[in-house]
Amino acid sequence: MSLWDLERSDCIVIMGSNMAENHPIAFRFVVEAKRRGADIIHVDPRFTRTSALADVHAPIRSGSDIAFLGGIIHHLLENDLWFRDFALAYTNIAHIIEDAYADPEQNDGLFSGFDRTTGSYSTESWQYKGKHAPSPSGDHRVLDQANEGEDSQSMAESPPPEDRTLQHPNCVYQIMRRHYARYTPEMVERVTGCPRDTFLRVAGSLARNSGRERTGAFCYAVGWTHHTTGVQIIRAATIIQGLLGNVGRPGGGIMALRGHASIQGSTDIPTLYNMLPTYLPQPTAFHRHATLKDYLRSETPATGWWSNMPKYVVSLLKAWYGEHATAQNEYGYQHWPKLTGDLSQLPMTMAMCDGVMRGQFILGQNPVVGAVNSDLVERGMTRLKWLVVRDFAMTETANFWQKGRLVQRGDITPQDIGTEVFFLPTALPGEKDGTVTNTSRLVQWHDVVLDAPGDSRSDLWFIYHLGKRLKQLYAGSEGSRDAAMRALTWDYPERGERAEPDAEAVLREINGYTVADRRQVEKYQDLKDDGSTACGGWMYCGVYPRDGHNVARSRIPDGPGGPGSHLGWAFAWPANRRTLYNRASADPDGKPWSERKRMIWWDEGQSKWTGTDVPDFVATTRPDYRPDWSSHPTGMAALAGDAPFIMEADGKCQIFVPTGLKDGPLPTHYEPVESPVGNPMYGQQSNPTAHVWRRPGNDVHAPGDGRFPYVFTTYRLTELHCGGIIGRVTPHTAELQPEAFVEVSPELAGELGIAHLGWTVLSTLRGEIEVRAMVTERMRPFTIDGRIVHQVGMPWVYGWEGYARGDIANVLLAITGDANTSIHSTKAVTVNLRAGRLTRPGGVGRGQ
């Protein structure tokens, strides 16, 4: 959904986010929704400025989100409050799952297929009966030989078995009822600490504001993702929205609050190790990816829109390798590195400590502050031969060798650190051309306002000129290892004395073009898998459809009384579509669910889909189209005219996920890896597939470890943007949040003898820090499973640089990761807290 579509919501649940402070621009649409009468709900451990503007603040203990959301699912199912016409038609709620499926209800917290020796699942028993449903994207599925994608052909033989009476014991509906049976309001209170009545108010509001006439939305940020169950928390919201019909409709959806520093864009055209541009899976070494043919056969689903994947892959290869990409050499496929393992940030931090990396580039990051287990990050950086840091002001990462915690503590001296550090100044956003892609997939162009001072250069300039030099370096090489660099197209025009590469040329390449006459491709439907088109990111097709027409520059809003989709404002991928899966805004017959909530509908006169947004469906596929299964249809021919979720193999919203998750087909409450309490739900304490990398310096607290009795969470501050440095070096913002602090409830402060603004020490097995206390009723004690559990919280955006300083919160955190994404855990760990100060070399406490 679009950010501005939030104003059409009748109920907005903000959870895992302090939206008012950290996404203030987006929050204006929440305020507008409230003005129009929407219920605004904030579910969060703290009472924040977001809570202050909400109708309901539901406090929950950090890490108990799935218990809360599972409780809502239970409430909807058991009180028959779900939008039956929508969910029965558009989700897999009626699909029948394999007989071998067993639920955590039967296995005390584990799904069928769990191998206790390896700590991983096989997904065979989670499949639709007699089928193998492929994951819509290969990057998160369980990768083993048994799960190669070739048998997705079964989806072209017949539709998955269903029981629309919902009586079959293994249909998704019945499985879900059993799975969530214990997520009662009483259990929700017991696990989360949220009072039963407050919880019921939230569930009731969501249910009341859904259906044909009304819609609701969830907004979340890293308060959901930064857990070892992060993906499953989001999945739980997906189930709620699927049940309530809040997907693909005006004011309905799940808004992932991103957008800081073009985070969305850096996922689309990724800096992620396991994805190629626009969500194509990176090939891997240990699977059937040895040749392009094998890779495409293994990764291309037989049915649904992703069946077009070969066109996108071959066009990407042509964009990268140009004339060196031919059918004879697999379009340069062998130039692509094949993954051998998890190369995300957490494993790479440990690999750095083990001496694997000889050098590292840091762009747009400050990992000494922003990455978890800061001391371990510093230790890793001492092992590097060289480190390049690009930023607009000095960061902790760039001067760890001089001012770092290890040096301050006397563990190491600068003379002992062999890392050669290069600090290069960067241009700020106003000092460069380019785009920012926000959380609505909205690609917005911005022009340079003035040149960056001195030697400061844009990141594009740096990468481009580094690439040029590398190409020159390898130009004479005959080694196959250097072939990719030699073949790479790197021909962007340069401008001005600084030889700034033309950012629009990069965007034109991302959009795509025909190889023969270098004409811009207008839409991704025109891409081919025969080498005749080149495209740097298929979902961005249309952002630059003709020479001289950069759609991302467009700034034409709808006027008052207009449709409100603002199709003239910039470009939203794909196809300038504002709401994904918007076929679901019409009923199975193609009519709007209601006039109030109309968006897309079937126009019988014109025999096509039309409406206020760009339809997310084959424009001329009728609502009553049904696949001819006797012909073994593939691609979109295998999806019925009432199957809106076209990226899925059967066009249905996956309430139950047969393939694509490593930790279960349904969200299940597990305690965080570090928790002061046992799991009240199951014998299984924590996510059995979570990444827990035990090593010296990364010790993890056992559940209930009395030395670390308090739940600890971290967050940002409005005034100190991103990793903090931009606000800390700016006097105006630094003076608003001048020093690091920990928020402590008056009750806990009283118990520990902590005074407001008094010094405290926070400690874990990873490290300890000292900060002043903010004693505040924004933090409340929770009653969990019959006993009081205290929670404390701290902004993670401080460091030793700038005017506003303080100890680094992430010193306290362990490196643990979500099973699906390896994202770190920053929101729910355990700590000890005491009044007082640290004893440090040279005196007591910092600055003495």
Footprint on this chain of other proteins (rule: CB under 8 A) = 117-120, 142-145, 147, 274, 284-286, 339-343, 347, 350-351, 353-356, 358, 479, 481, 662, 693-696
Is 343 or 789 the residue whose CB approaches other proteins more closely?
343
Secondary structure in 3-state letters for 279-331: CEECCECCCCCCCHHHHHHHHCCCECHHHHHHHHHHHHHHHHHHHHCCHHHHH
Q: In b/e form, how buried is each residue of 457-473, taking b as 16+ CB within 10 angstroms?
A: bbebbbebbeeeeeeee
In sequence order, the 6+-apart residues with CB closer than 8 A to the CB of 720 are 726, 727, 728, 733, 734, 737, 795, 797, 798, 804
Nearer to other proteins, 360 or 621 (CB): 360
Instruction: Output 339 or 666, the one with its CB closest to other proteins.
Output: 339
Please give the backbone phi and psi of residue 730, each rounded to the nearest 5 degrees, phi first: -105, 115
Q: What is the smallest separation between the CB atom of 696 and other proteins, expressed in angstroms?
A: 8
The angle formed by the CA atoms of residues 369, 370 and 373, to the nearest 5 degrees, is 75
Q: Residue length, the chain?
A: 848
- ∠840-841-843 over CA atoms, to 5°? 70
Of 495 and 694, the one with the shorter C-beta distance to other proteins is 694
Output 118 or 610, the one with its CB closest to other proteins: 118
* Phi, psi (rounded to 5 degrees) for 6: -60, -30
* Cα atoms found within 13 Å of the Cα of residue 448, Cβ hemisphere only: 18
CB of 385 to other proteins, least distance (A): 9
To other proteins, the closest distance from the beta carbon of 308 in angstroms equals: 25
Helices (H) and strands (E) in the chain, counts: 25, 33
Kindly tell me which of 287 and 318 has the beta carbon lying closer to other proteins: 287
Nearest approach, Cβ of residue 581 and other proteins (Å): 29
CB nearer to other proteins: give 212 or 383.
Answer: 383
User: Of 566, 220, 258, nearest to 439 (Cα)?
Assistant: 258
Whichever of 28 and 338 has its CB closer to other proteins, that residue is 338
The conformation of residue 45, written as its DSSP 8-state character, comes to: S
Task: Specify the amino acid at residue 163.
Answer: D
Whether the bond into 574 is cis, omega within 30 of 0: yes
Alpha-carbon distance of 466 to 451, in angstroms, equals 20
Least separation in angstroms between residue 344's CB and other proteins is 8
DSSP-derived secondary structure for 198-245: HHHHHHHHHHHT-SSS--EEEEE-HHHHSSTTHHHHHHHHHHHHHHHT
Q: Is 383 helix (H, G, I), strand (E, B) or coil?
A: coil
- Alpha carbon of residue 753 to chain centroid: 40
Instruction: Give the type of residue at 638.
Output: A
Residue among 176 and 346 whose Cβ is closer to other proteins: 346
Radius of gyration of the chain (CA): 27
Whose Cβ is closer to other proteins: residue 351's or residue 470's?
A: 351
Q: How far is the CB of 484 from other proteins (least distance, A)?
A: 15
Give the residue from 639, 529, 650, 644 showing the smallest Cα distance to 136: 650
Q: Do the Cβ atoms of 307 and 634 come closer than 8 Å?
A: yes
Q: How far is the CB of 356 from other proteins (least distance, A)?
A: 6
Tell the smallest beta-carbon distance from residue 418 to other proteins (Å).
Answer: 11
CA dist 844 and 219 (Å) reads 44
**CB nearer other proteins, residue 328 or residue 340:** 340
Give the nearest distance from C-beta 661 to other proteins in angstroms: 12
- Min dist CB 232 to other proteins, Å, is 18
Identity of the residue, 379 or 583, whose beta carbon is nearer to other proteins in the bound complex: 379
**Smallest distance, Å, CB 480 to other proteins?**
10
Beta strands in 93-177 (DSSP E): 114-115, 120-121
Q: Tell me how far, at minimum, the Cβ of 142 lies from other proteins, in Å.
A: 5
Supply the minimum distance, in Å, between the C-beta of residue 195 and other proteins. 42
What are 245's two structure tokens?
Answer: 């019909």
**C-beta of 35 vs 481, nearer to other proteins:** 481
Q: What are the backbone dihedrals phi and psi of residue 93, each rounded to the nearest 5 degrees, phi first?
A: -60, -25
Q: Give the nearer residue to other proteins in terms of CB position, either 227 or 662.
A: 662
Q: Which residues contact 702 (CB under 8 A, 6 or more apart)?
A: none
**Measured from the CB of residue 434, what is the shortest distance to other proteins in angstroms?**
32
Nearer CB in complex with other proteins: 117/848: 117
- Quote the least distance from Cβ 286 to other proteins, whole Å: 5
CA distance 321 to 534: 9
Q: Toward other proteins, which CB reaches closer, 136 or 245? A: 136
Cβ contacts of 666 within 8 Å, gap of 6 or more: 103, 111, 175, 176, 179, 235, 239, 656, 657
Phi first, then psi, for residue 416 (nearest 5°) are -85, -10
Rounded to 5 degrees, φ, ψ at 255 are -95, 110
Smallest gap from residue 478 Cβ to other proteins (A): 12
Cα–Cα distance for residue pair 366/353, rounded to 1 Å: 17
The alpha-helical segments, DSSP class H, found in 397-482 are: 400-403, 405-409, 459-474
How far apart, in Å, do the first and last CA atoms of the chain sit? Answer: 52
Residue 348 or 789: the one with the smaller Cβ distance to other proteins is 348
The nearest distance, CB 587 to other proteins, in angstroms, is 40
Q: Are 37 and 10 in contact (CB under 8 A)?
A: yes
